[in-house]
Amino acid sequence: MGLFGKNEKKIISALCKKSEAIGNDIANEIEELLEDLKSDYDENQQVVHEFTDFVNEIKSKLPPEDASKLVEFTSKISKVKRCARKGVEAMRELSRDQRKATRETIREYQEYLYV
């Protein structure tokens, strides 16, 4: 004799399908956001390098105080780039974790259905 009757199995099955749909919707939304973020990052990835090259070209033409400020600003822009890269990586991990959690939840529902 099983732990659950037909009615309970129907409820568990419905919850399983609903959880799977919600999990997939969230995963799709995260994936879209990740693609947008990654696309923007890739599109602007070379900007810091180009700016650094530009600064190196013009800093000898500037007064030392201005050149120093420009080099400091370049350093700050590099930090922004690192933050952006970390954001892309964090979103990628979030996407992976969401897919993993959805699969685990479905697996747990399935265990109850086939007890």
CB atoms within 10 A of CB 54: 12
Query: CA 83, CA 48: separation in Å to the nearest integer?
Result: 13
**pLDDT tens-place values along the chain, 115 residues long:** 455 677 888 888 888 899 999 999 999 999 999 999 999 999 988 898 999 999 999 989 999 999 999 999 999 999 999 999 999 999 999 999 999 999 999 998 888 777 6
